Chains A and B, each alone.
Chain A
Amino acid sequence: AQSVTQPDIHITVSEGASLELRCNYSYGATPYLFWYVQSPGQGLQLLLKYFSGDTLVQGIKGFEAEFKRSQSSFNLRKPSVHWSDAAEYFCAVSGGATNKLIFGTGTLLAVQP
């Protein structure tokens, strides 16, 4: 069965520091992978996505993610975090016969001044 694991429930970083949010997936075929961000009381905004090709994908707001098939991972990174990046981040997987998105449990990012 498809599943997504985000091992870090809560992360705090200082403004200007680098960030990496972890995401591991379990899927039998080539997955479609997504990172979404959710601000409090808001819907989800797509940061980036991976379907095929170059395993390093660039997204909006300076985010990037790298697909590593050998590690079943799709970690999200940003070289320098801004206070406005404080939010909840969700990794999701889809593909194959289903058009559903399977979400991880989310990582809540706090940014210290």
Chain B
Amino acid sequence: GAVVSQHPSWVICKSGTSVKIECRSLDFQATTMFWYRQFPKQSLMLMATSNEGSKATYEQGVEKDKFLINHASLTLSTLTVTSAHPEDSSFYICSVQKQGSSYNEQFFGPGTRLTVL
């Protein structure tokens, strides 16, 4: 199997606070993890790519100081939205690639709904 979990599944926070979202691969080791955000009725937008033990690579236009990514192990990556504001409200989805994957297949988590008041 290829099971990916995210925690929490939803979170509501006040403007100015920080929120941490976890992404775990439950039954395999992940070489690479990806973080996406998705606005209502839109496609997924890649935010960053993270590899275990190294700094994340952010896509153009994504603020690395606002969206902190830590990939501490081969099974866990975290996304921290710092000083969140209402415009950060979105659906955040992580995905993972298996160690040794040859074809870039990604397995997705169930997503985290963030609402900033």
Chain A residues near B (Cβ < 8 Å) = 32, 34, 36, 41-46, 49, 51, 90, 94-95, 98-101, 103-106, 108
Q: Is B85 an interface residue (CB 8 A)?
A: no
Most buried by A among B103, B109, B111: B103
- Whether the Cβ atoms of B43 and A44 lie closer than 8 Å is no
Verify A42–B111 contact, CB threshold 8 A.
yes
Residue ranges of B at the interface with A (Cβ–Cβ < 8 Å): 4, 6, 32, 34, 41-44, 46, 49, 91, 93, 95, 97, 103-111, 113
Please list 27 pairs of residues, one from A and one from B, whose beta carbons are closer than 8 Å in the complex, sorted by A's number.
Answer: A32-B104, A36-B108, A42-B111, A43-B110, A43-B111, A44-B93, A45-B108, A46-B105, A46-B107, A49-B105, A90-B44, A94-B103, A95-B104, A98-B104, A99-B32, A99-B49, A100-B46, A100-B104, A101-B34, A101-B46, A101-B95, A101-B104, A101-B106, A103-B43, A104-B43, A105-B43, A106-B43
Please, which residue of chain B has its CB at the minimum distance from the CB of A49?
B105
Give the Cβ gap from B77 to chain A, nearest Cβ, in Å: 15
Inter-chain residue pair count (beta carbon < 8 A) = 54
**Interface SS of chain B:** strand
Q: How far is the CA of A99 from the CA of B34 in the complex (A)?
A: 10
Q: Are A43 and B49 interface neighbours, CB within 8 A? A: no
Given the interface contacts A100-B34, A100-B49, A104-B43, does A43 sit within 8 Å of B97 by beta carbon?
no
A51, closest chain B residue (CB): B103
